[in-house]
Each structure stands twice: as structure tokens, then as C-alpha cells.
Amino acid sequence: MMTWRGGSLPISLMPLPGEALQSWIGAYARRLHATNSAFLDAIGLAGARMTQMAVRLTAAEADALHRATGVPQQALRAMTLEPYDGLAVTIHPDRRRLMRPPAWRFSAARTRYCPACLAENTGRGPVFWRLPWAFACLTHRALLLDFCPNCHRAPHPWTARRLGPRVAGVCTRDSLAGPQDRPGRRPCGADLSQAPALKLPEAGLVLPAQQRILSLLAGDAYARPTALAELKQLYALAWRVLRGLHTLADQAPDVVRAALIECGGVLPHLTDKDVGHDAHNAALGTTLAHVALHPGHRDHDALFDWILEADQSLQQTPRANIGKRAGRWSWSGPALVERTLARLDSQATLHARLRYASASPRPRWPTLQADTIIQRAAFIPSMLWPGWTMRLLPRLKDRAKLRVGAFRRGCSSFLLLPGGPPELNFERVGPLLDNGQIHTDRDSVERRLYCDTDLTPLASTLAQLAYALDANGAPIDYARRRATFTYASVSLDHSGYKRLCAQHGWRSGQGHRAALLQWYLLMLLTGEIHPPPSGANTRFAFNCTEFRFRAPPALRAFLRQQAEDNLARHSIDEPLTWEPPNSWVTGATWPGITPTSLAPGAVRDLLSTVTSVHEAGNALGGSAEHIRLYCDLADISTTTPSNAIGNLSNQLTPETVEVRQGILAPEELRDLYENQRLELTHIAQLASCNPDTVRALLAHDEVPLRPRPDRLSPRPDITRAWLHREYVEKRRTMAELARERRVSHYHLTTLARGWDLPIRSTERRYNAIGHLDLPCTPSPAMQAVTASPTALDRLRTIVQIPGHTSLAAAARAIYDGRDSALRQRITKVEKAAGFCIIDRSTRPLAPTPRGHDFLREAAEVLRLADQTRPKCQ
């Protein structure tokens, strides 16, 4: 090297974009016909070690290089591994050497290379080749190499040595060949630019993975935490992929074979403690990790599931629980832990699914303390809110041992499990809500109501509600209400209640009625159904259940006002009732009924026509408890009176009525009696009062009363033949015929019963066939089947059954999956018809010979119904 006395070097050689410091210094030294050591000595860095400088420059080293070459110090530091410290590599803070990186086990100073790049750039290369995440050249679409093809060692292609070789891009490692007395005195000298490299397909899997790595490493300081998190996730997946190829390769999805072929078709070389440092292993592992991490590939989920099984195959225990398996991914961050929990959800118990929220859209590792769970308990009633119970309560056929109350208590207790510590299990969280029947509550959820139902909607909904309560709170402190309101502390305005009874013609009742009202008042205040008070009779619980369905709206409104007065008396400024909004839960398909899907007006109309809560439940496709819960939620009830709230008074007179409103208003009452020709008993049911009260009010309004049916003289225009033709054959309604002949509905009904004519039940929603102009008289079987307010619904259901593989398959296709409800409807239709319509023994299902004729007739009736539908509307 020429003599130089300081200042800038007379020959300038600028670094290439992204070039490594070793590559640039080696090229500079060759340009000056010097070695790396001589170059450093000449610029004042005598004794400096190139391997340390390539890791991180000291201030003195950076200053000397800058003064000698004119390259800015910032650019010089960018040529070292320092910008990647903590991201792709880990540098010892004091000794300037590489430690184990944040991801991958590779920690040595090895430099990979691309032969084509060395040929194009006169042996120079980028600092990226020194990173463990470098495995492919995007420019030449080739897999990087780790070793010299001649000496099979890391080649050190950028070192300018005194012994040569003088050309760039060759292996400078000492040759292992030579005289026996002086081996290694000459360099290997293999031309690395001619080394064979594996070509990668442009539309393959490896190159996109390498491009993603480059974008992560090239991000700014603000993007570094996100980039590091993804690199950790990639490594956590990659090493499991490499291990899995030696344990479960025969179970791997197609994408694994495709990536393996791209990488040369050779299985990765592994040791007992390591997954290998070479570019082949890095490429194969990172490529499949990239597919498993980022959606888009058809095997995205299948690959992740295979990785989970491969990871499990490496464990000592045959089948660890969901927590232990997901915990093995905790090093990589919460994202993979959550995804692992989600994929393992179907294998977990309900307790675990709730604790880890694995069935919800966002599973979480439980990190909450006991204090947080206790605070959450204050936001939860002892029994799950009515609206959410309606959603989660399966549409099961009413049975005596459903234990819906225990189900609601169990769900509330389950709300305290998500995110909590392991010591707060179901048995220990129940007492926080004053729920003491732990085994009964849990048994009602898992073994009774959900014994044949998928638990996923329940687990997902409860987990989401729990975390939403933690984030948003609730406007009601249920813990305070549980401690404040009891049978002894709840007060009722008895004088106001007696005035209400006088207004509506009710008897005020005695002690039993007062206890019933207090029970309902307590339910409004605390959100739970309490056991009967001491001394209550054996019918008290039944009357409480009936009260929820039959309590008149005026009485419900009175009790709500009483409940609000109790809150004010205790200085509690809270809404009387509250429920979490629908928006708190997403991605769940509930097995029950969503309250918002029901129109209160339509339900009110339905309840005015049914005689029992079970009939109402069947009409809405739910259970009796769904109806009671909706009555609690919407403050509506049936208009049919019941002894559950006491006998109705017959002493109400117009003079004792303080307010006449609704049904009993003069104009409304006159319309119902004169125009709609309803009977006194029917009007009394609608008004929840006694027929004698209605008779007295009509007399007060000077409305002439119709004579009783048994006092009417026979009329020649009302005969059995006429009624049979119009009512039975033509399917006209009894109300229409009564208006036509100007008699009461009751009169015609009484005559029909006396003449042994079948009476069809009625409902507000017309669904029969009386309006149809049928070409011929229906067959006896058709007449029997359509003698129902749901005649068209029956026919539409039965004609869709043939062609399905089973009744269960038919239920999934046409009946919202309600298998038992569909079977019940088919049985009722066949019972009415008097013969079997569907042959269950054939596959697919087919009609019997008589059933074939019936279905053909049903199809014709439905065709006519569809043609006349606009007229009906």
C-alpha cells in the first residue's frame, strides 16, 4: 500500500446500497492493493478487529473511517449489524459479539451468499446476508448458500489477505489440502460465483416469505415492536414445522410438500437440541410459518392445526390440557396463544373454554386477579338477564326437569370464570352471587339443557359478556341490591294496590296475594327469582310462575313503579332494570330466541288468543320459559285471567270505576260488542275482568244486550247443512258467518257443537284455507289436517319432507335444525289425517301410497293459496 499521512484517502470507493462493512472494506483494500489489516492500520485503526467492527463500530472507529473515506458515520453504522440489534440479532452490550438472537438459534458470524450477486458486484454483498433470516435472493430468485462448494466451510468471501487470492468473490479460508508438514498455508480459492444454487419459482412460496422478512427488517423505529412480535411468531412456528417434518410428515397438508419441493426436496437436518442454522432450514421453516401465520392460502388453517399436532407429538404427556398446550406458545406473544386457544377450543371442557375465552372471537390468556372478578360480580345478577337467557336457552320441548332457574344461576356463575385465576373455579365463584346450589346449577347447564346442544354459542357469549362488563361496567350494582332488598325490606303500597283493584274490578286478595306481589317486586329489584317466603303454601311457586305470564299490564306497571319507589327510598340512583346490549356479543348463533326478533305487538296479539303458556311457546317455536322471559322483559302478558292472581271481582259497577280505558272505554266496548259481536265472556277475558262487569257497563252505556243463544228461536237460514257447507267444506271462519247471519259467534259455535261439527281453533294471524276457492271439496283427511289456524304452515312443512335423507336432515334444511319440533308437527299432521304420510324406512324419505295422494292435494291447495295471497294481504 502507498505511503499515506492522514486525511482522506486519495482513492475513493463508495459503498453499494445495503452493503456490508466487511464487503466494502475488503473491496477498498483490494482497490488499494492492500489487505484488510493494512487498510485499517493506514487509517489509524491499528489493532482493530474486523469481526468486531462488522458487529458495531465504536465512536473512534466510525470517526476514523469517516475522515479517511468521506462516508458519513450514519451510513457506516448502517453497514454493520447494529441496526438489527434486538430485532434480527442480539449484540453483547460490552464485548461486541453476537449472542442468541431474539429468534432463530443461529448466532455465529456466518455470511451466506448468492453466487449470481457475487458475479455481478465483483464479490461484494449486502449486510443482510449476515442475518439468520436471510435465505433467498429476490433478485436472482435463488436459495442462498452457506458453505464453499470446495472446502465445505463458511467461505469468508470479503477478506483481503496477504496470501491472496487477489480476486474478489472467492473463498479465502485456508485450504485443508497441501504438504503434510505445512497444511493450510494457501487459501482455498474456490470461485464462489460459480457455486451451484437452487433456483426458486417466482410464483412459489419461498420468495414471498423472504420479501415479508425484508419488509419487517426495513421498518422504522415505530414499527419495530410489531416487526419483532411477528418475527417471534414466525420462529415459534418455524421450528415446530422443522421438528414436525420428522415426526408427522405423513399427516402434513399439501402445502408442506410443496414447500419441501421448492427447497430441494430434502428434509431438514436436525440435532437433538437444535433445528439447524443453514439457509435450507431457515427457508423451509420460515416459508411454512409465513403460510400458517398469514391468511390467504387454502391450507392456512390446516397447516396451523398440523403444527399444533406436531408440537404435541414432541411432549412427554400424551394429551395435555388446553392451557398447557397454549402456554407453550407464550414466548411468541399473545397472538399465537390466542389462535392456539381458538383451534383447541373444541377439545376443551366448558370450564376451560370460558376461562380462556377460547370459543369467542378473541381468546385470551387469563391474567385477571381475584379483585377484578369480585368487582365483575357486582355487575351481574344472581340469575342471567331474561333477554340473554332467551338467547341461550335451547328451544327444547318443555319437560318437568329442565330447571331453567338453575340454568340461569349457572350461567351467571359461569360469567365469573373468563380471565380469572385458576383458584376461582366454578365452585368458588358461585357464592360471590349468592348461588349456593353449585352442582345443581352446573348440572342444569351441561347435562340437562345442553346435553344434546353445541356449547360453543354459550361459551362464546358468556366470555364476551364477561370481558365487556370489565371494560364498560354496568349501571346497576347488583351486589348492593342483593344485600339491600329482601322479603322483609321490600315495601308495597297496599292502599295504592287496593285503588288499582277498584279501578279494574279485581279482588285485592289476602296474605297469599300480598306475598306474591312482594315476590314479583323482589324479582324486579334484584333480577332473580327468589324462593317462596316462609309460610307460603305449596302452590306459591306455581302461582309465581303463572303470575309472570298472566299478570295484567296495569298491575305490572304498578309494581314497576313500586320497585322504583323502593330504589328511591334507599337513595339508589340506578335504572330499575338493565341488560347488556346486543353489540357486546358478535359471531354467535344462539340456540334460543333473540328478543329483538319478536315484535311486541305481534306477541301481544298472540297472547290474546292462546289459553296457556305452552301453546304460546309452541306458536313462537320456543318453550314456555321463553314466553315467560319475554313477558318479564317486555312487560306484556296474556289477557286470559287466572286464579294465580286471585279471583276476579263481580262487584264492579260504573259508579265504582274511577277510570275506564282500553277495552272498557265506552267506544271500544260498544265496537267489540255490537260491530265485532264478541261475547261477554270474550270481552271480559280481553279486559281481565268479570263478564258481569262488562254486562253492567254495557247497560250503563245503554247498549242493548243480545239474547242468550239458548233463547233464540230456530232460524230457517241457519241449518246444519248450511253450516257444514260454509264452515267445514268452504273453510270460512265462524266470525264471518256470524256477521253474515247477524248472530253471535257463541251462538254458531254452540250450534256446531250440538250438530257434531269440528270446531277449528283460532288465532290472530290467519293461516287457514277458508278464503280459497277450491275446485272441489277437500278429502276428509285434508279437512281434518286443515282444521287448524296453522293449516297452510302444516301443508308447507309436510310437502317439503320427501327427498331428504332423514328427518334430522330435513330439520336442518327447512326447520332451523329443530328436529324434535319437526317430528312433532309431522306426527300431528298424520294423526289428523288418520294414516301415515311419510315412510320413514326409505332413504331418501318418500310418501306412502296414501301419502302420495295427500301431498298432491296439498300441493294444489298451496298453489291456490300462493295465487290468492295478495288478496288476503
Q: Which of the four pLDDT bands, split at 50, 70 and 90, describes residue 651?
A: very low
What's the whole-model pTM score?
0.68
Residue spans per domain, the chain: 21-194, 206-314, 486-577+598-645, 662-705, 706-759, 775-872
Residue 312 has pLDDT above 50, yes or no: yes
| Greater model confidence, 524 or 246 | 524
DSSP 233-248: HHHHHHHHHHHHTTTS
- Tell me the one-letter amino acid at 395: R
Residue 113 has pLDDT above 50, yes or no: yes
Contact (Cβ atoms closer than 8 angstroms) between residue 521 and residue 490: yes
Alpha-carbon radius of gyration of the chain: 42
Residue 712 has pLDDT above 60, yes or no: no
- Lowest-pLDDT choice from 257-266, 345-354, 519-528, 706-715: 706-715
Tens of pLDDT, residue by residue over 58-102, are: 999 999 999 999 999 999 999 999 999 999 999 998 888 888 888
Q: Which residues, in sequence order, are bridge partners of residue 90?
A: 99
- Lowest-pLDDT choice from 235-244, 385-394, 701-710: 701-710
- What one-character DSSP code corresponds to residue 847? E
Residue 870 has pLDDT above 60, yes or no: no
DSSP 137-187: ETTTTEE-B-S-TTT-S---TT---TT---SSSB--SBPS-S-TTSTTSSB
Cis peptide before 844 (omega within 30 of 0): yes
Contact (Cβ atoms closer than 8 angstroms) between residue 413 and residue 612: no
Handedness of CA 653, 750, 770, 723 (dihedral sign): negative
| Confidence at residue 764, expressed as pLDDT on a 0 to 100 scale | 41
Q: How many residues does the chain have?
A: 873
| Confidence at residue 660, expressed as pLDDT on a 0 to 100 scale | 63
Contact (Cβ atoms closer than 8 angstroms) between residue 487 and residue 522: yes
- Lowest-pLDDT choice from 89-103, 110-124, 365-379, 476-490: 89-103
Distant-in-sequence, close-in-space partners of 846: CB < 8 Å, separation ≥ 6: 802, 838, 839
Residue 642 has pLDDT above 70, yes or no: no
Q: Which of the four pLDDT bands, split at 50, 70 and 90, describes residue 6?
A: low
Q: Among 17-26, 261-270, 534-543, 754-763, name the most confident range.
A: 17-26
Whole-number Å distance between alpha carbons of 774 and 781? 15
Residue 332 has pLDDT above 70, yes or no: yes
Contact (Cβ atoms closer than 8 angstroms) between residue 356 and residue 340: no
Helix extents (H) in 332-379: 334-343, 350-355, 370-377
Distant-in-sequence, close-in-space partners of 793: CB < 8 Å, separation ≥ 6: 767
Q: Which residues, in sequence order, are bridge partners of residue 846?
A: 839
| Confidence at residue 24, expressed as pLDDT on a 0 to 100 scale | 94
* Percentage of the chain modeled with pLDDT above 90: 43
| Confidence at residue 708, expressed as pLDDT on a 0 to 100 scale | 62
Buried b (16+ CB within 10 A) or exposed e, 519-542: bbbbbbbbbbbbebeeebeeebee
- Lowest-pLDDT choice from 401-415, 462-476, 638-652, 771-785: 638-652
User: Mean pLDDT, to the nearest integer, of 602-631?
Assistant: 86
How many CA within 13 A on the CB side of residue 639? 18
Tens of pLDDT, residue by residue over 146-173, are: 999 988 888 888 887 766 667 788 888 8
User: Mean pLDDT, to the nearest integer, of 181-204?
Assistant: 84
Q: Which of the four pLDDT bands, split at 50, 70 and 90, describes residue 818?
A: confident
Whole-number Å distance between alpha carbons of 664 and 670? 9
Contact (Cβ atoms closer than 8 angstroms) between residue 129 and residue 20: yes
Cβ atoms within 10 A of the Cβ of 647, count? Answer: 12
| Confidence at residue 655, expressed as pLDDT on a 0 to 100 scale | 47
Contact (Cβ atoms closer than 8 angstroms) between residue 829 and residue 785: yes
| Confidence at residue 618, expressed as pLDDT on a 0 to 100 scale | 86
| Greater model confidence, 41 or 439 | 41
Q: Which of the four pLDDT bands, split at 50, 70 and 90, describes residue 213?
A: very high
Q: Which of the four pLDDT bands, split at 50, 70 and 90, describes residue 106?
A: low
| Greater model confidence, 563 or 402 | 563
Q: Which of the four pLDDT bands, split at 50, 70 and 90, describes residue 105?
A: low
Phi and psi at residue 199, to the nearest 5°: -80, 140
3-state secondary structure at position 98: strand
| Confidence at residue 576, expressed as pLDDT on a 0 to 100 scale | 95
- Lowest-pLDDT choice from 402-411, 465-474, 756-765: 756-765
Specify the CATH architecture of the domain 775-872: Orthogonal Bundle (1.10)
Handedness of CA 66, 68, 70, 75 (dihedral sign): negative
User: Mean pLDDT, to the nearest integer, of 308-319?
Assistant: 80
How many CA within 13 A on the CB side of residue 75? 13
The closest alpha carbon to 26, from 190, 197, 166, 163, belongs to 166
Q: Among 23-37, 468-482, 721-735, name the most confident range.
A: 468-482
Whole-number Å distance between alpha carbons of 151 and 412? 71
Q: Which of the four pLDDT bands, split at 50, 70 and 90, describes residue 765?
A: very low
DSSP 688-753: TS-HHHHHHHHHHTTPPPPPPGGGSPP-TT--HHHHIIIIIIS---HHHHHHHHT--HHHHHHHHH
| Confidence at residue 636, expressed as pLDDT on a 0 to 100 scale | 85
User: Mean pLDDT, to the nearest integer, of 298-320?
Assistant: 86
Q: Which residues, in sequence order, are bridge partners of residue 91?
A: 98
Tens of pLDDT, residue by residue over 572-598, are: 999 999 999 999 999 989 999 999 998
Residue 11 has pLDDT above 80, yes or no: yes
Whole-number Å distance between alpha carbons of 133 and 224? 16
Question: Dihedral of the CA atoms 542, 546, 547, 551 (nearest 10)?
Answer: -160
